[in-house]
């Protein structure tokens, strides 16, 4: 069979891992595969089956464009769509395109294959890709209300225990997408084999501070991790954050290389979980005062169809946008690093509005010729 693998043209900095695994899976059955990104009008290929992936729910438009274009171009070919948007909203896709087969969840067989990195040669954007991406585990032990993972992947389980076949020859770095790496039953074996690779490691989804102990800190500190990402989602994690930072520092890691994702604008009406500008300021303050980097993470609802629309009832749009402005004006690389001026600014602030100096950030933007963010009173939940 001739299989056409389609990555819709949404914004992404990473190649389509799901399709690369599907490519290896199909090749193992003797099929031919070809990868395209977006709409390719010069395609010299006549596929029997078109397989389209999908990512963020709010990036659904390019996915629909791909379905329409390839269905029109190859009306006799079967079309299957999978990935995150497809797994989250299969009925929405079916309602637009009843002729499409929607695959929900993981493709368990494809999970076992080394992704076919060579198919990236077919696409200009990915030709120089130099990192091996892995999920060594799927699922999570937690059930955080702001995360889809427990719904689409379920409880934690290990999928790769031996890394040898999953690091592509010539690659310079390893990117782990495990949702909660340290909760994986094989964390120790994997860390030891990561050490043997000698490559740079990125725990891209952030490590769970509640699981860091002396043994783990010791092994982590031996790896080449330019930035160690962790999460500080709410004040209840304060002690665990302090504890993890101390353990990692004692093992020789630099605090400046410890980055914490700090969640804001989160609101869950079913469970009455929420943060406020003041609780957010506290976790940012804690993070920079201990000497680490704070990376604000704006909450995006699980069923979002348009990015950055949602405003929690406990925030105003102006406050949410002030963080985006502050990241550009007083932050660095979108984050708040622990430099003296910034620590002092947050420490002396009497409130969130004071810390983020809404007015002065607006003035800075106006001086730079950018429009000031619009001001809005409490807007409640806004989803469209
Ligand atoms: C890596 C990752 C990122 C990366 C970017 C990923 C990328 N490709 O560009 C980074 C770190 C930048 C990131 C950022 C964010 N992320 Co993120 N991220 C992920 C993660 C871990 C993996 C996503 C991915 O790329 N998967 C590649 C997939 C599709 O490959 P795969 O899973 O191996 O594919 C399997 C199946 O899906 C299936 N399959 C896939 N395609 C196909 C096709 C066919 C035909 C078939 C049959 C099967 C099939 O088979 C494969 C093998 O089993 C997921 C969580 C998760 N565990 O999935 C969250 C996730 C996608 N992220 C999420 C969120 C919220 C964000 C942020 C908005 C967070 C924030 N507030 O800032 C930002 C947005 C960034 C942006 N650019 O807009 C949410 C998405 C929610 C939503 N409504 O869509 C997720 C689901 C996590 C969560 N907490 O709920 N993220």
Distance from the CA of 348 to the center of ligand 1, in angstroms? 38
Residues 17, 22, 27, 29, Cα dihedral to 10°: 160
**Ligand 1 binding pocket includes 4 (Cβ within 6 Å):** no
Q: Helix 238-250 and helix 214-221: axis angle, to 10°? A: 50
The verdict on residue 120 lying in a domain is no
**For residues 246-252, average pLDDT:** 97
Residue 363 phi, psi dihedral angles, 5° rounding: -65, -40
| pLDDT bracket for residue 5 (50, 70, 90) | very high
Ligand 1 closest atom vs CA 80: 45
**For residues 296-313, average pLDDT:** 96
Share of the chain above pLDDT 90, in %: 82
β-strands 137-138, 157-158 pairing:
antiparallel
The verdict on residue 155 lying in a domain is yes
Residue closest via CA to ligand 1's atom 81 equals 302
* 103 vs 162, residue with greater confidence: 103
pLDDT of residue 161: 86
pLDDT of residue 376: 30
The verdict on residue 305 lying in a domain is yes
Distance from the CA of 372 to the center of ligand 1, in angstroms? 32
Residue closest via CA to ligand 1's atom 62 equals 56
Q: Looking at the structure, tell me whether residues 51 and 181 fall in a common domain.
A: no
The verdict on residue 375 lying in a domain is no
- The answer to whether residue 163 scores a pLDDT higher than 50 is yes
- The answer to whether residue 381 scores a pLDDT higher than 50 is no
Residue 62: both structure tokens together:
């390019």
Q: Looking at the structure, tell me whether residues 232 and 341 fall in a common domain.
A: yes
pLDDT of residue 269: 80
**For residues 36-43, average pLDDT:** 96
Range of weakest confidence among 101-110, 235-244, 284-293, 329-338: 329-338
The verdict on residue 151 lying in a domain is yes
Residue closest via CA to ligand 1's atom 16 equals 56
pLDDT of residue 281: 96
Using the 3D structure, point to which of 110, 136, 160 is the last residue of a domain. 110
- The answer to whether residue 245 scores a pLDDT higher than 70 is yes
End-to-end CA distance of the chain: 40
**For residues 170-182, average pLDDT:** 96
Share of the chain above pLDDT 70, in %: 93
Q: Looking at the structure, tell me whether residues 16 and 98 fall in a common domain.
A: yes
Q: Looking at the structure, tell me whether residues 55 and 189 fall in a common domain.
A: no
- The answer to whether residue 41 scores a pLDDT higher than 90 is yes
The verdict on residue 373 lying in a domain is no
Q: Looking at the structure, tell me whether residues 97 and 132 fall in a common domain.
A: no
**For residues 8-35, average pLDDT:** 98
pLDDT of residue 359: 54
Ligand 1 closest atom vs CA 57: 84
Kindly list the distances between the CA atom of residue 82 and the CA atoms of 1, 7, 102, in Å, as whole numbers in the listed order. 19, 11, 6
Q: Looking at the structure, tell me whether residues 92 and 144 fall in a common domain.
A: no
The 10s digit of each residue's pLDDT in 190-233 is 999 999 999 999 999 999 999 999 999 999 999 999 999 999 99
| pLDDT bracket for residue 144 (50, 70, 90) | confident
Q: Measured between alpha carbons, how far is 262 from 260 in angstroms, rounded to an integer? A: 6
**What is the total count of domains within the chain?**
2
The verdict on residue 49 lying in a domain is yes
Looking at every residue in the chain, the average pLDDT score rounds to 91
Let me know: does 17 contact 45? Beta carbons within 8 Å: no
Determine the structural domain holding residue 207 and report its residue range.
Answer: 126-367
pLDDT of residue 358: 57
- The answer to whether residue 352 scores a pLDDT higher than 70 is yes
Distance from the CA of 84 to the center of ligand 1, in angstroms? 6
**Ligand 1 binding pocket includes 80 (Cβ within 6 Å):** yes
Q: Measured between alpha carbons, how far is 148 from 134 in angstroms, rounded to an integer? A: 19
| pLDDT bracket for residue 360 (50, 70, 90) | low
| pLDDT bracket for residue 373 (50, 70, 90) | very low
Distance from the CA of 203 to the center of ligand 1, in angstroms? 15
DSSP of 52-111: E----GGG-HHHHHHHHHHHHH-TTSEEEE-SHHHHH-HHHHHHH-TTSEEPPS--TTGG
- The answer to whether residue 375 scores a pLDDT higher than 70 is no
Q: Looking at the structure, tell me whether residues 162 and 80 fall in a common domain.
A: no
Distance from the CA of 273 to the center of ligand 1, in angstroms? 24
pLDDT of residue 378: 27
| CATH classification of the domain holding 130 | 3.20.20
Helices (H), 144-237: 149-152, 187-197, 214-221
Q: Looking at the structure, tell me whether residues 188 and 228 fall in a common domain.
A: yes
Q: Which of 53, 63, 155, 174 has most ligand 1 atoms within 8 Å of CB, for mutation?
A: 53
**For residues 68-80, average pLDDT:** 98
Note the pTM of the prediction, 2 decimals: 0.92
Range of weakest confidence among 33-47, 117-131, 153-167, 284-298: 153-167
């Amino acid at each position: 069979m001739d299989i056409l693998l389609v990555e819709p043209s949404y914004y992404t900095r990473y190649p389509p891992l799901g399709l690369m695994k599907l490519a290896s899976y199909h090749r193992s059955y003797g099929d031919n595969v070809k990868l395209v990104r977006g709409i390719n009008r010069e395609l010299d290929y006549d596929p029997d089956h078109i397989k389209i992936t999908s990512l963020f729910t709010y990036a659904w438009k390019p996915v629909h464009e791909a379905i329409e274009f390839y269905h029109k171009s190859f009306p006799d070919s079967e079309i299957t769509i999978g990935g995150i948007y497809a797994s989250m909203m299969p009925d929405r896709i079916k309602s637009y395109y009843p002729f499409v087969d929607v695959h929900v969840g993981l493709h368990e067989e494809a999970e076992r294959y080394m992704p076919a990195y060579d198919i990236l040669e077919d696409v200009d954007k990915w030709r120089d890709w130099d990192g091996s991406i892995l999920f060594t585990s799927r699922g999570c032990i937690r059930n955080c209300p702001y995360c889809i993972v427990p719904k689409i992947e379920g409880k934690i389980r290990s999928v790769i225990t031996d890394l040898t076949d999953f690091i592509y020859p010539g690659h310079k770095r390893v990117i782990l997408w495990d949702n909660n790496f340290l909760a994986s039953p094989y964390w120790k074996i994997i860390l030891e084999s990561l050490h043997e690779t000698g490559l740079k490691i990125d725990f891209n989804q952030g490590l769970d501070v509640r699981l860091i102990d002396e043994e783990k800190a010791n092994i982590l500190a031996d790896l080449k991790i330019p930035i160690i990402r962790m999460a500080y989602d709410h004040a209840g994690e304060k002690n665990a954050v302090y504890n993890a930072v101390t353990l990692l520092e004692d093992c020789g890691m630099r605090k400046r290389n410890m980055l914490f994702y700090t969640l804001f604008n989160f609101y869950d009406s079913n469970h009455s979980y929420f943060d406020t500008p003041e609780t957010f300021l506290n976790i940012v303050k804690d993070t920079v005062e201990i000497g680490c980097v704070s990376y604000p993470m704006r909450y995006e609802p699980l069923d979002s169809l348009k990015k950055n629309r949602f405003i929690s009832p406990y925030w105003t749009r102006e406050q949410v946008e002030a963080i985006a402005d502050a990241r550009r004006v007083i932050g660095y690389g979108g984050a708040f690093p622990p430099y003296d001026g910034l620590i002092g600014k947050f420490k002396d602030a009497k409130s969130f509005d004071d810390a983020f100096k809404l007015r002065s950030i607006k003035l800075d933007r106006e001086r730079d010729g950018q429009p000031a963010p619009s001001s809005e009173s409490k807007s409640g939940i806004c989803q469209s």
